[in-house]
Amino acid sequence: MANYHIRKYQNSDYEIVRNIYSDGVKELSPTMFLHVLKLPRTIVFLMGVFLTLLMSLQSLLWAPLAVVVLLVLARVIVDAIWTQYVQCCFQEDLLDIQKSYLQSEHSCFWVAEVKGEVVGIVGAQPIRNAEQDDRLELKRMVVKKGHRGKGIAKALCGTMMNFAQRQGYKAIVLETTQLQHAGQKLYERLGFKRMHEIPFSSPVGEITCVNTIFYRYDMPTIDKGKEKVPTAKNVSGIGFVF
Ligand SMILES: CC(C)(COP(=O)(O)OP(=O)(O)OC[C@H]1O[C@@H](n2cnc3c(N)ncnc32)[C@H](O)[C@@H]1OP(=O)(O)O)[C@@H](O)C(=O)NCCC(=O)NCCS
């Protein structure tokens, strides 16, 4: 069993939490690049450029070189998209994590530690909506490479589910992308239901054809159900602090 423990975020975790989040998001860059490369319209476009240059320049050097330049350019653009996304998050809830998550008793942020090193993060914030304000949103879930596959994300989710139940939330919701396969498996394994899927609502979405996937976990009622929330205790058996 992995020797980790989960505790609430402290101000001294600020830099490492932001770095873990940034690294986790930037991992999406090669995945998105490959996804875009496999799109039929990308293949048609690259073939078109290749054949046009081949026919017009009659050169077996320039046509493939142009395709390589386009690929490098596309890779740089995809990297820039995720760098920009991280910068936006750093200006939002991750600008002042203490204030965003720990000022109110209805939200929280946890870290997973291995031998005193922070290796995993997750945040929980209520959804502020006039009609339904009984949903908690799971945010910023990342486990550092090298510490994956040991149940740390499951334990972080379990801690959050326990928190949601004690706070009386009816459901946990989250958004992820179609590119995050490990994340999807994690949530489905924990009983989250895939609700719907929509394209990214931006020009980036139109170009890359990546969808956002919405998940929801309905909290079981304590008194009625025999069903148990998969808390950190029953998913990992390791002690944790709220
Ligand atoms: C997704 C992520 C948080 C999983 O962290 P982890 O600590 O390795 O996950 P766990 O070891 O707790 O695994 C929990 C379950 O998730 C699923 N899972 C995790 N990684 C998986 C992978 N690479 N492939 C398939 N399933 C995977 C499994 O079902 C696993 O349960 P099981 O081992 O009992 O079958 C981690 O891969 C990560 O940080 N990825 C980059 C950031 C990201 O995509 N975050 C989620 C965005 S919403």
CA distances (Å), origin 150, targets 3, 145, 192: 9, 11, 20
Report phi then psi at 51, rounded to 5.
-70, -40
Counting from 1 in the atom list of ligand 1, the atom nearest the Cα of 144 is: 39
DSSP character string of 123-144: EEEE---SS---EEEEEEEEE-
**Could you tell which of 3, 121, 140, 143 is best to mutate to test the pocket of ligand 1, judged by most ligand atoms within 8 Å of the CB?**
143
CATH 3.40.630.30 assigned to domain 4-28+90-236? The reply is yes
How far apart, in whole angstroms, are the C-alpha atoms of residue 176 and residue 179? 8
Are 28 and 180 spatial neighbours (Cβ–Cβ below 8 Å)?
Answer: yes
Which residues sit with their C-beta closer than 6 Å to ligand 1? 24, 27, 141-143, 148-154, 176, 180, 182-183, 185-186, 189
Probe ligand 1: pick from 172, 185, 188, 190, max atoms within 8 Å of CB? Answer: 185
Question: pLDDT tens for residues 148-197?
Answer: 999 999 999 999 999 999 999 999 999 999 999 999 999 999 999 999 99
User: Can you give the pLDDT at residue 240?
Assistant: 29
User: Coil, strand or helix: which one is 238?
Assistant: coil
Distance of CA 176 from the midpoint of ligand 1 (Å): 13
Q: How far is the CA of 131 from the centre of ligand 1 (A)?
A: 33
Question: Could you tell me the pTM of the whole model?
Answer: 0.88
User: What pLDDT, on the 0 to 100 scale, is given for residue 229?
Assistant: 59
Stronger pLDDT, 201 or 179, i.e. the higher one? 179
Atom 23 in ligand 1: residue holding the nearest Cα:
182
In this structure, of 51-65, 97-111, 120-134, the range with the lowest mean pLDDT score is: 120-134
CA dist 160 and 163 (Å) reads: 5
State yes or no: pLDDT of 145 exceeds 70: yes
Ligand 1 atom having least distance to the Cα of 155: 12
Is 60 exceeded by the pLDDT of residue 234? no
For residue 148, give the ligand 1 atom closest to its CA: 8
